[in-house]
Structure 1
Amino acid sequence: MGASIGTSAQAQSIPAPLVECGGSWSSFVGKMKDLAIAQGHDAGTVDAFFASASQDSRTLSADRGQGFFTKTFIDFSRSLISQGRIDNGVANMRKYASTFDRIEQTYGVSRGVLTAFWAFETDYGAFQGDFNTLNSLMTLSHDCRRPGLFQPQVLAALELYEHGDFDPRGTTGAWAGEIGMVQMLPRDIIESGVDGDGDGHVLLKTSAPDALMSGAHMLSNLGWRAGEPWLEEVTVPAEMDWSKSGVERSFSKPEWEAMGVQARDGSLADLPGSLILPQGRKGPAFMAYPNFQVYFHWNQSYTYVLTAAYFATRLEGGPVYNAGNPEPGLDQNGMKALQQKLQAKGYDVGKIDGILGAGTRAAVQAEQARLGLPADAWPTAGLLNRL
């Protein structure tokens, strides 16, 4: 989900390609057709499906130019969550109440969770992408950067075509092949698609019940724990062992309470939880429960995932988070300088890109602990100077 920022397939390890990538386009199309026929698809159907397939340079440009989240959680969440978006979400939850009732009964996925995805992915179906899906998938399958990720999606689209649920010439979506109101890849539609409106088809572009039921089924298949919370805002004491924070480690409710962590409203859920401090110990604070990890199967951006999870709580009546008074972070150049210093010390921070990703957060927290600083994983100018 998420404007092709990440998908469930992209979050998995990339398999080997099914056919050789690159080379002439016509030769590659021929290889894909031969593969489809070898897998048992009718030759005439295969010819009709691939007849219009063509390379899309716009898809390659989008793939090469993917944006990254450089905004802080506070800035990003405030830019994405408007009162209008909340009001539209509440109205849609009311409009499709019977569908959400079925979802909660069948899959145990809360309505706010799906509505938040629906909002961020396509603004409740208004902007679903204008890339020809077959052309995008074939272009990315031919390109040798990640062909093993996309070639199976082409074959899944062929299967949808055989069901009457895909038009090679007319089906459009995001540049990476996601389709419909909640932006699912063809293979995910095959595995998790649900005919929510009972018309005999799974049409995620035009049927909100189909899209919402399918999204819930997919979350369930990814490990969503029925009826459990995913995130709640907490308050933290002025001083504690901040190295206990982070999505990588979790503790029980009694353990968190003994450390002075409390729910902002009510009490902590009696589940293992991870303390999330997106902008350090002086900024917003949340407790993430096991369902929160499922979000990362759908999108790998920490900032996006936390914002989507928080927005789901707002749609269900939760309060605006307390932003606190976080210490100023580093700009992108400062982050790059920090990453270079951390890399020189032997940490794996990935690409030097100025992005506060998981590797950089872990390295920051480790160095803060080594230097006797509050180990809250929030990089500041003070840390950069100490290094």
Structure 2
Amino acid sequence: MPNLPVRPRVLCRTFIAVATSLLVLSACGENRLEASVQPGGSSAAAHSEARSFNQWRDGFRDQALEAGIAPGTFDVAFRGIEPDPAVLKADQSQPEFTRPVWAYLDGALSTQRQATGRVMLTRHAATLQQIEARYGVDRHILVAIWGLESNFGSNMGDRSVIRSLATLAHQGRRSDFAQTQLLAALQILQRGDTTVSDMTGSWAGAMGQTQFIPTTYNDYAVDFDGNGKRDIWHTEADALASAANYLKASNWQPGAPWGMEVRLADGFDYALADMSIRKSLTEWASLGVTDARGRPLDSRSTEQATLVLPAGHRGPAFLVMNNFRSILRYNNSTSYALAIGLLSERFQGRGQILANWPTDDDPLSRSERLELQERLEAHGFEPGSVDGIIGANTRQAIRRFQIALGWPADGYPDRQLLKALRNRNN
């Protein structure tokens, strides 16, 4: 899903909100329009919420018209639009547990997805060849993105993009972002690329077979079949070429690999596994890194590579190159980018991971990740925001603590680390 940041979700809370013009209201997974039918609900609260949405809509209409949206375009798009309680529930909920990377890859690289991808590569071979020639992006990567984003166009989401984005702009956690996307969606309608009824997508407003958000669509979607419309919903050529155009703009390097599994030498400095560190393959080889089978790395390559340990030092290791970073522009998740690279290889009979995953390592829950960050902060290791997201700052803080313990400094959060922080208070 290009340009859509990772969506941290917050624990559900209930608020009493005063309805004022353009006020973003908080909600607990249910829209207050339904309050009158809930036990103990207030019809007055429902009327207040309805007035608030109408006031927000009218204010946004003025902004949209000032930005060049025709009154008729706006009125048709918003005809009958009310907030969507299911969208609010999705926006406000934060799953307590997340799948470990090996479980995610099991689903992403399923035999069914691999088989369907090979069929699609054959069925659309001529179109993919033309896209490769124009944009320089490997067809296997494009079909992998197609497969993960919408299951090859079979699961694009069936929610009204206008309704979803209006709901998020009115009451969501990131209302400014949603409002920007909503204005971009109206621009798409005004150009005539699609209709209100056809503009469907995910609860977050990602659209079409390649799950573009509206601003990404406006900047990178292309009319590859030349019919005058950029149709990423019904036209595979447009959808695939649009993804290729986005990757090209994200500095995709034609003919270059995304990365590879590698083997690390005993005593390796795991602190080097950081996205901010780039070295040539020759430099990595000098540190004892080989390919996954123990063979020397290709010293002829001039590619700069970064070491990634998705499951810490106990799991597989990968050297990833520039094209991996281009995939991260599409979806800023290491697991996602790894799945795209491996799936593209599975289509070609490659991409098997040789090292074992530490499947006995039960990932931390969200509440445990929050506790980890709180304890790191309390002990002066400076993890940054306490938000349950293990980002660059938290990984650096983990490394500092691991070094203090004399452990491998891989920056990976696990139960042993949390236990050590708990014991530090004793």
TM range (shorter): 0.7 to 0.9
The answer as to 2:394 corresponding to 1:360 is: yes
Report Cα offsets for 1:12-60 as digits up to 9, x if no partner.
9xxxxxx944372222222222222222333333333332332111111
CA contact (8 A) 2:315 2:357 kept: yes
Tell me the amino acid that sits aligned with residue 344 of structure 1.
A
Q: What secondary structure, in the 3-state scheme, does the structure 1 residue paired with 2:319 have? A: strand
1:117 maps to 145
CA contact (8 A) 2:221 2:245 kept: yes
Tell me the amino acid that sits aligned with residue 8 of structure 1.
N
Report Cα offsets for 1:142-186 as digits up to 9, x if no partner.
125212112122222222212222322442110111111110112
TM-score by length of 2: 0.80
Report Cα offsets for 1:276-333 as digits up to 9, x if no partner.
1112223211111122222333323333333233323323432310133648435435
2:129 maps to 101
CA contact (8 A) 2:91 2:173 kept: no
1:44 maps to 72
- Structure 1 distance, partners of 2:68, 2:387, is 46
2:407 maps to 373
1:212 maps to 240
1:341 maps to 375
> Paired residue for 1:241, among 231, 256, 269?
269
Q: What secondary structure, in the 3-state scheme, does the structure 2 residue paired with 1:229 have? A: coil
Q: Which has the higher contact order (CA 8 A, sep 6+)?
A: 1
- Structure 2 distance, partners of 1:339, 1:229, is 35
> Paired residue for 1:303, among 299, 321, 335?
335
2:385 maps to 350
CA contact (8 A) 2:150 2:210 kept: yes
- Structure 1 distance, partners of 2:113, 2:304, is 31
1:270 maps to 302
CA contact (8 A) 2:364 2:414 kept: no
- Structure 2 distance, partners of 1:277, 1:331, is 15
TM-score by length of 1: 0.88
Cα shift at 1:262: 1.8
Structure 1 segments unaligned to the other structure (5+ residues): 2-6, 13-18
2:349 maps to 317
Q: What secondary structure, in the 3-state scheme, does the structure 2 residue paired with 1:249 have? A: coil
Indicate the percent of aligned positions where both proteins have the same amino acid: 32
Cα shift at 1:226: 3.3
Q: What secondary structure, in the 3-state scheme, does the structure 2 residue paired with 1:364 have? A: helix
Cα shift at 1:120: 1.4
CA contact (8 A) 1:231 1:313 kept: no
Distance 1:356 1:328, change over 3 A: farther
After the TM superposition, which residues 1-387 of structure 1 pair with which residues of structure 2 at under 5 Å, given as runs? 1=1, 7-10=2-5, 20-22=22-24, 24-67=52-95, 70-143=98-171, 145-264=173-292, 267-268=297-298, 269-324=301-356, 326=358, 328-332=360-364, 335=369, 337-346=371-380, 347-348=382-383, 350-351=385-386, 353=388, 356-387=390-421
Q: What secondary structure, in the 3-state scheme, does the structure 2 residue paired with 1:201 have? A: coil
Q: What secondary structure, in the 3-state scheme, does the structure 2 residue paired with 1:206 have? A: coil
Cα shift at 1:88: 0.7
